[in-house]
């Protein structure tokens, strides 16, 4: 049991450090690369696949003897640790190291979205609405918003952990 939790801690810490490293690396390369990193991070389920792979490896290493509820705990602990690194990395980058990076990122994302809507011949009202949303997103993020965001992520992480447990249970059969 201890090795399962140790593996979860290792998985969460490695994924968190990897995210932190990639975030700061993309920031060093420039705002366009940082925006691309955030898009790919949001689009691709890499963390999910990594936790699923780690859960499969732990289950396989233990001769498929781990109860699926313990697999859910393994996955959720991995996600909790990842979320801690995620929150700290974003706080360090966007609040301490380079507070203007968040505004530049929002501007870049908003400009790309506006260009995409114009290329798709979207109505002018939609484009103006998107520009207003972009201006709203430039407001400073409060601690309450951060905590709500972490809470929402943890809810989604629990759902993903349950899904991982279910997948591992099916593979076990």
Number of domains observed in the structure of the chain: 1
SS3 (DSSP) at 135: helix
User: Which residues, at least 6 apart from 150, have a Cβ–Cβ distance to it below 8 Å?
Assistant: 83, 87
How far apart are the C-alpha atoms of 131 and 57, rounded to whole Å? Answer: 46
User: In terms of residue numbers, what domain contains 17?
Assistant: 2-172
Average pLDDT over residues 59-79: 92
User: CA-CA distance, 167 to 173, in Å (whole number)?
Assistant: 10
Find the mean pLDDT for residues 106-134: 86
In this predicted structure, the answer to whether residue 1 has a pLDDT above a threshold of 70 is no
What per-residue confidence (pLDDT) applies to 42?
87
């Amino acid at each position: 049991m201890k090795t399962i939790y140790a593996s979860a801690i290792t998985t969460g810490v490695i994924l968190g450090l990897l995210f932190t490293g990639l975030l700061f690396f993309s920031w060093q390369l420039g705002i366009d690369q940082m925006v691309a990193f955030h898009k790919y991070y949001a689009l691709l389920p890499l963390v999910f696949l990594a936790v699923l792979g780690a859960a499969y490896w732990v289950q396989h290493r233990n001769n498929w003897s781990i109860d699926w509820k313990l697999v859910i705990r393994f996955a959720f602990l991995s996600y909790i640790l990842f979320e801690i690194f995620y929150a700290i990395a974003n706080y360090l980058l966007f609040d301490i190291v380079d507070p203007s990076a968040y505004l530049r990122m929002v501007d870049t994302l908003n400009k790309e979205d506006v260009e995409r809507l114009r290329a798709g011949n979207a109505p002018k009202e939609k484009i103006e609405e998107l520009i207003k949303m972009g201006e709203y997103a430039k407001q400073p993020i409060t601690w309450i918003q951060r905590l709500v965001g972490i809470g929402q992520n943890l809810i989604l992480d629990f759902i993903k952990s349950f899904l991982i447990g279910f997948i591992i249970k099916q593979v076990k059969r």
